[in-house]
Amino acid sequence: MRNWCGEPVPRVDGLDKARGRTVYLGDQSLDGALFGVLVRSPVAKGRLKKIYWDESIDWSGLFRVEAEDIPGQNCVSIIKKDMPCLAFDKIMYLGEPVALVASADLGLARSAALTAKQDIEPEKPLLDIRQAVEKYRQEPQSDGLIHSIDIERGDVQNALASSDLIVDGEYWTGPQEHVYLEPQVVAAIPRGDKIEILGSMQCPYYVRPAVALALGMPDENIIVRQTPTGGAFGGKEDFPSSIAIHAALLAQKAHAPVKIIFDRQEDISFTTKRHPSCVKLKAGVKADGTFSALEAEVLLDGGAYTTLSPVVLSRAAIHACGPYRWRDVGVKARTLRTNMPPYGAFRGFGAPQVHFAIESHVDEIAARLDMDPVELRKKNLLREGDQTATGQVLKESVSAVACLESVSRAADYAAFKKKLEHVQSTRHKKYGLGVASFWHGGGFTGAGEEHIAAEVAIDLMEGGRVQVAISSTEMGQGERTTIPQIAAQALGGIPLDLVSCDLPDTSNAPDSGPTVASRTIMMVGALVESCCMDVLAYLKKVSKTRDDEQIADWPDAVGRALKGRPKIRFAKKYEKPPDLKWNEERHVGDAYAAYAWGAVAARVSIDMLTMETTVDDIWCTVDAGKAINPKIVEGQVQGGLVQALGYALFENLQVSEQGAFLQNRLQNYIVPTSMDTPGLHVELIENMYSRGPFGAKGVGELPMNGLAPAIRNALRQALGQAPNRIPMIPENLVEQGLAGNTGG
């Protein structure tokens, strides 16, 4: 009997991947499959009157679909139903799909799609968050809002008026592209009255109802199977639903399997990205550094349609005050509509944007008070028993201070600060060390987990084999390894190789919810653990094992339970703990069941001639509760940090006057390489969460939150003034007047 939780066991899917044997959907040939391509609108806004096809070409073997051919509802259903699968009448962004073409020959499909002439009456688009913010500030009640959330606690105006010091600031963040290495890919295969969808995805049970609605079919007739997924990071949360519908529409028309594969340029140009943001903060502080009141205006660019923006906004609003104690809070959060492809989920989901603002702002407050930024944070960080902006009392597993102390110790913060006074003034290179604290709520916000009502199942099979059936997906984060570790341990420490967790198939796996929101281990893992406890109790009964004893012969006990059947299934459904309360309308109450915590320090140098920033070392300590597989947790933190490094320093997306992203290939959209990887010093603190599986919380998104402001704060120290906009590419630093100051 073994203790699996806490073991850095190698991933179950790792060796196949290393041997080049894993078959991704693009590697799979489907009998008789056609390739589907999208016809996209050439303008960002307008009225589409008609599509003319070139009938002089040979259309035999070619299939096409327009909006009027859609048998069900013409929408990609997620939170709202405002986004059409194929635009008709209204064009809302450049590249919006208006029609589909399929052929066995990809080249032919592409050239046929190019013959489509769209008769469009163009209108003036709103493309940029700057214009959108300006418009919103002039007329806040306009129709340009996708969603609004207000959080109020105490009396923020009064509290600001009676503060010793008021600090204002405004912070901007740009869009970020996921660059999962495997571009979007999906296939639809007609099977009698059913349609099977294969795809690289995070959420099979988002795809299923979306396809069913558009095709006018019952949910059960859509079978969704996840294929090995080459990275996702949120980019395969809602987006696959839309191309799954496209493939299904074509497959139905052609009575043949249809595959849609994006190349990198199409992928960067037209799929979701992290929401750009503008966050305005006004903080009221006491002379001794105690935080008292915070007023925040959080504006996100949502792009053309609602998609996931309301929930992204909610997470942004709740995390906007940072992991700090404020007595009075007023948050006004809005998602603005622009004529850009809808912005969507990306690791962190609204939290990285507001962390950039609040963590930069804390350093501004420290500067005004002439206080050390680490000391100022320690004074105000949330502790057990404190209340968050939504009035949630933090009852357990709070590690904000411990993480910050660990990081400043590891980075030798005090010594560095001393040394800096000598090196700074003599070089054309300047140095800085910046810190940031961060947090991340695990699981869906508010009543989200209750609405999802996740279900898991455990199948017992011959030979004592155990299969965990859940819709949670493996996308590189280690779910197929970590979930079996939880199950093997909960079943009494049975051999790990008896337990498996396959890629989900909706005809077998119950809906355990989408693979998002750092919820797979914390929420789904907890259900798996509790389901396993039912299994264990049952097996002890049939094998006549006493409660306090181990089952002596596991395969035999399972055999007795099976009684000759090939398998038996146990199931468990989420039940909301009675003490969690949430008021969605007012955004008051227990926003998350538990929070993960972290702190990060970055040591940077900046070349004053080129204004290029180099990050030399990153120290990061996180508390995500029990690290079920410490190697995997560490990998999540390291990978998240390097994504955050790109977000902070390189990943720049500009929008052309027509509404296209200027950086739409890997030649000009720059992500970190191995040469950019600084020293990564990660430490884990395990502050157990009582309802998590063996004490675990979520870790997937957390490491994305703090690094950008830590780098910014390091630059502040180096330059004396700070950029308030990311990415902090040299051009942006120059534009903000930070160049040329080599005096020190």
Place of tokens 């959060």: 333
Q: Which is nearer to another protein, 164 or 263 (CB)?
A: 263
The correct pick among 1, 3, 23, 134 for binding another protein (CB under 8 A) is 23
Query: Which partner from the list ligand FES, another protein, none does 15 bind, CB cut-off 5 to 8 Å by kind?
Result: another protein
Using CB under 8 A, which residues numbered 231 to 270 contact another protein?
A: 231-233, 263-264
CA separation for the pair 175, 635 (Å, rounded): 24
**Which region holds residue 451: left if phi is over 0, alpha if psi is between -120 and 50, else beta?**
alpha
- Report how far residue 258's alpha carbon sits from residue 38's, in angstroms, rounded to the nearest whole number: 12
Q: Which is nearer to another protein, 174 or 640 (CB)?
A: 640
Those residues whose C-beta lies under 8 Å from the C-beta of residue 694, and which sit 6 or more positions away, are: 5, 486, 489, 529, 626, 628
CB of 632 to ligand FES, least distance (A): 12
The reply on whether position 287 binds ligand FES by CB under 6 A is no
Is 646 one of the binding residues for ligand FES (CB under 6 A)?
no
Between 309 and 613, name the residue whose CB sits nearer to another protein. Answer: 613
Contact of 466 with 351, CB cutoff 8 Å: no
Residue tagged 């009852």 (tokens): 395
Scanning 213-221, 270-278, 670-678, 716-724 for contacts with another protein by CB under 8 A, the matching segment is 670-678
Pair 84, 67: CB distance under 8 Å: yes
Q: Both tokens of residue 163?
A: 């503060």
Q: Considering CB distances under 5 to 8 angstroms, the limit depending on partner class, which of ligand FES, another protein, none binds residue 475?
A: another protein
| 50, 56, 141, 181: residue in contact with another protein (rule CB under 8 A) | 181
User: What number of residues does the chain have?
Assistant: 744
Residue with Cβ nearer ligand FES (22 or 387): 22
Closest separation in Å from C-beta 404 to another protein: 22
Query: Minimal CA–CA distance to 389: which of 327, 298, 439?
Result: 327
Long-range CB contacts (< 8 A, 24+ apart) of 397-400? 397/594, 397/595, 397/623, 397/625, 397/687, 397/688, 397/689, 397/690, 397/697, 398/595, 398/597, 398/687, 399/597, 399/623, 399/685, 399/687, 400/323, 400/437, 400/439, 400/597, 400/599
Q: Which amino acid is at 679?
A: G
From 17-25, 279-287, 400-408, 582-590, span contacting another protein (CB under 8 A): 17-25
When the beta carbons of 95 and 476 are compared against ligand FES, the nearer one is 476
Instruction: Give the residue carrying structure tokens 């919820």.
Output: 519
Beta carbon of residue 675, minimum distance to ligand FES (angstroms, whole number): 16
Q: Phi/psi of residue 402, each to 5°?
A: -60, -40
For residue 37, the surrounding DSSP H or E stretch is: strand 34-40
Give the sign of the dihedral formed by CA 461, CA 452, CA 520, CA 515. positive
Q: Which does 183 bind (CB under 5 to 8 A by kind): ligand FES, another protein, none?
A: another protein
Smallest separation (angstroms) from ligand FES to the CB of 671 = 10
- Binding pattern for the stretch 649-668 against another protein, x by CB under 8 A and - elsewhere: ----------------xxx-
From 36, 434, 476, 727, residue interacting with ligand FES (rule: CB under 6 A): 476
453 binds, among another protein, ligand FES, none (CB under 5 to 8 A by kind): none
- Shortest distance in whole angstroms from residue 635 CB to ligand FES: 9
Cβ neighbourhood burial of 536 (10 Å; 0-12, 13-18, 19+): buried
Look-up of token digits 């309301």: 310
Angle, in degrees to the nearest 10, between helices 204-215 and 239-254: 40
Residue 632 binds: one of ligand FES, another protein, none (C-beta under 5 to 8 A by kind):
another protein
Please tell me whether residue 385 binds another protein under the rule CB under 8 A: no
| 673 in contact with another protein (CB under 8 A) | yes
Interface characters, 194-233, with ligand FES (x: CB under 6 A): -------------------------------------x--
* Stretch 463-482 residues interacting with another protein (CB under 8 A): 475-478
Q: How far apart are CA 176 and CA 619, in angstroms?
A: 23
Q: Which of 2, 14, 157, 609 binds another protein (CB under 8 A)?
A: 14
Q: Which is nearer to ligand FES, 73 or 677 (CB)?
A: 677
Closest CA relative to residue 315, chosen from 39, 702, 716, 710:
702
CB of 356 to ligand FES, least distance (A): 25
Q: Quick one: which segment of 11-19, 326-334, 540-548, 601-609 binds another protein (CB under 8 A)?
A: 11-19
Shortest CB 228 distance to ligand FES, Å:
11
Pairing of strands 97-103, 63-66: antiparallel
Binding positions for another protein, 261-320, rule CB under 8 A: 263-264
Burial of residue 212 (number of CB atoms within 10 Å: 0-12, 13-18, 19+): buried
Interaction residues for ligand FES, span 42-101 (CB under 6 A): none
- # of chain residues touching another protein (CB under 8 A): 55
Residue 263 interacts with which of another protein, ligand FES, none, CB < 5 to 8 Å by class: another protein
Give min distance, CB of 182 to ligand FES, in A: 8
Query: How many whole angstroms separate alpha carbon 240 and alpha carbon 227?
Result: 12
- Among 248, 247, 263, 265, residue whose Cα is nearest residue 194: 248
Neighbours of 138 (CB within 10 A): 8
Least separation, in Å, of the C-beta of 256 and ligand FES?
28
How far apart (Å, rounded) are the C-alpha atoms in residues 222 and 506? 8
Under rule CB under 8 A, residue 125 binds another protein: no
Shortest distance in whole angstroms from residue 264 CB to ligand FES? 8
Which tokens go with 200?
A: 């690289």
Output 181 or 287, the one with its CB closest to ligand FES: 181
Kindly list the distances between the CA atom of residue 707 and the CA atoms of 241, 516, 713, 720, in Å, as whole numbers in the listed order.
32, 21, 10, 19
The listed partner (ligand FES, another protein, none) that binds 387, CB under 5 to 8 Å by sort, is none
- Rounded to whole angstroms, how far apart are CA atoms 333 and 388? 17
The residue among 448 and 639 lying less far from ligand FES, judged by its C-beta, is 639
Binding region for another protein (CB under 8 A) out of 210-218, 224-232, 293-301, 718-726: 224-232
Asked if 667 touches ligand FES (CB under 6 A), the answer is no
| Segment holding 121, helix H or strand E | strand 117-122
- Least CB distance to another protein at residue 272 (A): 15
Residues 27-66 that bind another protein (CB under 8 A): 27
Q: On the CB side of 402, how many CA atoms lie within 13 Å of its CA?
A: 16
257 binds, options another protein, ligand FES, none, Cβ within 5 to 8 A by partner type = none
Nearer Cβ to ligand FES (59/650)? 650
In the bound state, the residue with its beta carbon closest to ligand FES is 181
Kindly provide the residue ranges of all beta strands, DSSP E only, lying in 662-703, ordered along the sequence.
679-685
Among 643, 652, 717, 732, binds another protein (CB under 8 A): 643
Give the residue, chosen from 50, 55, 60, 181, that forms a contact with ligand FES under the rule CB under 6 A.
181
**Measured distance CA(6)–CA(716) in Å, rounded:** 39
Residue ranges that bind ligand FES, judged by CB under 6 A: 181, 231, 476
- Which residues sit at the interface with another protein, rule CB under 8 A? 8, 10-11, 13-24, 26-27, 178-183, 228-233, 263-264, 475-478, 631-632, 634-635, 638-643, 665-667, 671-675, 677, 680
